């Protein structure tokens, strides 16, 4: 095989195959879960607060005089907040999820020989391994309400309903007691999860059009704060608020990217960090380097050859077939989508 034949395409892109919408947030009462008319959009409002100094001080500023002087200056902030009304105890979060066919098929590839090898690898994976494990984990993250993020924490009750829509009609509905399903692993044996996983599997294979409507109800308590997505304000000079929350037509919402991140938080196949052999590995989101920004850590370091690029290049260009768990990881990244070409520079 020539050197050119083993070259990674410089233009290589994949479209995401799990396509969630933004999520919208509504308020109501737990007893009204079956009553569509009992829910009101949650609005975002501003609140101005006067805080006190709490940041870490330089050693030179830790004298009594300087600390007292700093405390004299109020820490004034304007922030966005979103809360339930005091006569409502539950937040409802709605979104839809499309499952698209053609998983593993690039949307752009400028090397025909690479495309041929990629297609052969993907076809063999589909035949011998299949999407069942990935689909099972995606379905589990719908059922356990992981996509609620902070809205799930401390909730008294959480219920998730997943509806398979065909021409806007409900073909099937599954209801889950989400707090009974773990966020730490995927070991629970649940018939509803298996059925949804079967649908996702068919959708990824391109055998069926799959559109799911997901509704989650989290019982938090009257007047409690809810947590939409927070906007990233690039022009901080022009913003007067220290926190800006996301909304869609004045309805509090969650970014589709945040929903998607939760659904693909399925990677338990990353290497155990050095000196952490006793670590109980929780799932992390599928990322090329296993990055977890809240920890400031990348669990799939290139030097360990367990990152996406090393595994993909070895599989496609060198014929080094990864273990099944890492095959699932690589295919999960392709389903996630992205631009993965090898720069010619």
Mean pLDDT of 104-119: 95
* Phi and psi torsions of 134, nearest 5°: -60, -45
Tell me, rounded to whole angstroms, the distance of Cα 109 from its chain centroid. Answer: 27
Give the pLDDT band (50/70/90) at residue 1.
Answer: very low
Mean pLDDT of 71-84: 84
Give the pLDDT band (50/70/90) at residue 3.
Answer: very low
Mean pLDDT of 286-292: 96
pTM for the structure as a whole: 0.92
CA dihedral sign of residues 176, 178, 180, 185:
positive
pLDDT at 345 over 70: no
Bridge-based pairing of strands 18-20 and 90-99 is antiparallel
Q: At what angle do helices 324-336 and 132-143 cross, to 10 degrees?
A: 60
User: Residue 273: its pLDDT value, please?
Assistant: 80
Give the pLDDT band (50/70/90) at residue 152.
Answer: very high
Task: Report the chain's C-alpha Rg in angstroms.
Answer: 23
Distances in Å between the Cα of 311 and the Cα atoms of 69, 88, 221, 291, 317 are 57, 50, 47, 16, 10
User: Residue 62: its pLDDT value, please?
Assistant: 64
Task: Please report which helix (H) or strand (E) contains residue 282, including its range.
Answer: none
pLDDT at 237 over 50: yes
pLDDT at 2 over 60: no
pLDDT at 161 over 80: yes
Strands (E), the chain: 12-14, 18-20, 23-28, 40-41, 45-51, 75-81, 90-99, 108-109, 157-166, 169-177, 210-219, 247-248, 251-254, 265-267, 284-285, 291-292, 297-298, 338-339
pLDDT at 274 over 80: no
Composition of the chain by helix, strand, coil, percent to 5:
30, 25, 40
**Residue indicated by tokens 């969650």:** 254
Of 17-21, 241-245, 326-330, minimum mean pLDDT range: 241-245
Beta bridge partners of 173: 163
């Amino acid at each position: 095989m020539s050197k050119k034949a083993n070259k990674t395409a410089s233009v290589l892109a994949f479209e995401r195959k799990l396509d969630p919408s933004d999520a919208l947030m509504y308020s109501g009462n737990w007893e009204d879960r079956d009553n569509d008319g009992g829910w009101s959009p949650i609005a975002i409002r501003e609140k101005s607060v006067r805080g006190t100094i709490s940041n870490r001080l330089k050693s030179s500023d830790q004298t009594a005089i300087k600390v007292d002087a700093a405390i004299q200056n109020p820490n004034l902030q304007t922030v966005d907040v979103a809360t339930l009304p005091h006569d409502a105890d539950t937040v409802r979060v709605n979104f839809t999820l499309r499952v698209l066919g053609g998983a593993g098929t690039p949307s752009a590839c400028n090397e025909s020989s690479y495309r041929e090898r990629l297609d052969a690898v993907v076809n063999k994976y589909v035949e011998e391994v299949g999407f069942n494990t990935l689909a099972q984990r995606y379905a589990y993250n719908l059922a356990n309400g992981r996509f609620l993020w902070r809205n799930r924490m401390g909730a008294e009750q959480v219920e998730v309903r997943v509806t398979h829509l065909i021409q806007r009609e409900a073909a099937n509905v599954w209801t889950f007691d989400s707090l009974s399903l773990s966020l730490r692993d995927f070991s629970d044996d649940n018939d509803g999860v298996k059925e949804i996983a079967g649908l996702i599997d068919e959708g990824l294979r391109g055998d069926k059009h799959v559109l799911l409507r997901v509704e989650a109800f989290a019982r938090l308590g009257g007047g409690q704060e809810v947590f939409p997505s927070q906007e990233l304000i690039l022009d901080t000079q022009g913003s007067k608020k220290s926190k800006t929350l996301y909304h869609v037509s004045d309805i509090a919402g969650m970014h589709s990217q945040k929903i998607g991140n939760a659904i693909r938080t399925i990677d338990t196949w990353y290497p155990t960090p050095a000196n952490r052999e006793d670590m109980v590995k929780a799932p992390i989101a599928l990322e090329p380097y296993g990055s977890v920004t809240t920890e400031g850590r990348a669990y799939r370091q290139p030097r360990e050859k367990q990152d996406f690029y090393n595994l993909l290049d070895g599989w496609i260009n060198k014929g080094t077939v990864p273990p099944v768990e890492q095959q699932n990881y690589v295919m999960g990244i392709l389903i996630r989508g992205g631009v993965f070409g090898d720069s010619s520079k």
